[in-house]
Structure 1
């Protein structure tokens, strides 16, 4: 395991180099998960392209530090990690809140972003009311109180029916996240609106969504793609909110067809 002190935060990460002459891919995970959601993807890309996965502040084995006030806190952490690893330019792949982090990183430091893969995300996700309700629930009753509903949004009915052991494992991943990290990131998502910024994105961008995503449905992701000049929009069949778990081969194929390095 690798850890880095970035400002006030100890971040848990894994960087896998490659002998291939390719820009690294940085995978940013979703709310309530850790970087293990990318394990199958990482195995697929191993040796072909360098890649970085990490646990966001307040998630997985990463510390909360001074807390989470905005998406910029997560961006600051990633910028520090990229600097530490001497990654000067990368493909940024963000899932859900990871996609918000990717968009804000591109807005702040476009020279670091070779291209964007925005997976099951949007320019704005949810409303203040829905996020405030979720924050209040987890702070008073714990993450377990919302876990079953979240699983319905994350995964398709087929996943629930046929992959029960995995479903239980991902539910455990969710409920074992620190409440402060989860609630703080909920607040950061609530306050993020990159509608205007999306129209200024000037790097190649691929927007992807599972056809049964209950958190950021296809039409919402399509609306993000419509804002980004020249972007490409793709739907993954038989997938919910986390296609890197449910349909990793399909997601990997889309990334390989998009990344200029031919990873």
Structure 2
């Protein structure tokens, strides 16, 4: 584990793969940690320098008790890149990570080589849903909502086939600091990139999963239709496609990155 200081805040960052290889940054979902990527890191690290990190509010990274904005999460990525000496990198974000990727493409396109947006959306639904979620976490913590989150993320088939991995992801969610979960939920509540997507010029791949109940395929399809030249790919399985379909996920992403 590597803890780095970014503007007085601590971030957990891990790297893998050959030094000097093309850099690929991986950004995880709400309620997860960098270990969401465990299945695919060895596949990417054969030919890339893979950088993954715990997002603000998650894992071993800083979790200030305040409302976050998507710009805060995007600027964290830029600061991590600066600390690692990366002028540009490929970026792959899933769910929350894909929202961060959209912010980067709109606000710091010069720092991106290519962009992968997986199982994500440009608008995360009505504010009242997130306000209810924030109130519930403020009142009772993250644990009471964890089972419903996990149920919406994984297909029944995967839950039956890989109960150990599902339990690991459940522990990630349940272990998320309430301040971090609430702050990030506010960022997702307030995000709306729908009108801005046509201005993205970074080469973009959008991945959807046919059985994704958290970010249904139509949401990703709308991103792909709006971003000029974006490529759309489909996978079987549920929301956390990098876990349910790691080989297929890595194959699609690697082919796009070249």
Q: CA deviation at 1:6?
A: 0.8
1:105-116 correspondence to structure 2 within 5 Å = 105-116=104-115
Tell me whether 71-80 or 61-70 shows the greater mean CA deviation.
61-70
**CA deviation profile, 1:18-73 (whole Å, cap 9, x unmatched):** 256x4311000010000001111111122311110000011001112464420111
Q: Quick one: distance in 1 between partners of 2:3 and 2:195?
A: 35
Q: CA deviation at 1:162?
A: 2.0
Q: Quick one: distance in 1 between partners of 2:17 and 2:148?
A: 38
Name the SS for the 1:43 alignment partner.
helix
> For residue 5 of structure 1, what is the aligned residue in structure 2?
5
Change (3 A) 1:167 1:54: same
Q: Quick one: distance in 1 between partners of 2:173 and 2:43?
A: 24
**CA deviation profile, 1:210-249 (whole Å, cap 9, x unmatched):** 2111110001110111110110111111x11101111110
Q: TM-score of the superposition, structure 1-length normalised?
A: 0.94
Contact 2:65 / 2:180 at 8 angstroms: preserved in 1?
A: no
> For residue 39 of structure 2, what is the aligned residue in structure 1?
40
Aligned mate of 2:249, from 248, 251, 261: 251
Contact 1:200 / 1:228 at 8 angstroms: preserved in 2?
A: yes
Q: Which runs of 5+ in 1 are unaligned?
A: none
1:119-158 correspondence to structure 2 within 5 Å = 119-158=118-157
Name the SS for the 2:52 alignment partner.
strand
Paired positions, count: 258
1:1-263 correspondence to structure 2 within 5 Å = 1-18=1-18, 22-65=21-64, 67-237=66-236, 239-260=237-258
Contact 1:216 / 1:241 at 8 angstroms: preserved in 2?
A: yes
Contact 1:8 / 1:65 at 8 angstroms: preserved in 2?
A: no
Q: CA deviation at 1:173?
A: 1.1
Tell me whether 160-169 or 124-133 shows the greater mean CA deviation.
160-169
RMSD: 1.3
Q: Quick one: distance in 1 between partners of 2:190 and 2:64?
A: 20
**Which runs of 4 or more aligned residues in structure 1 lie more than 2 Å from their structure 2 counterparts after TM superposition?**
65-69
Contact 1:34 / 1:55 at 8 angstroms: preserved in 2?
A: yes
Q: TM-score of the superposition, structure 2-length normalised?
A: 0.96
Contact 1:202 / 1:229 at 8 angstroms: preserved in 2?
A: yes
Change (3 A) 1:19 1:183: closer
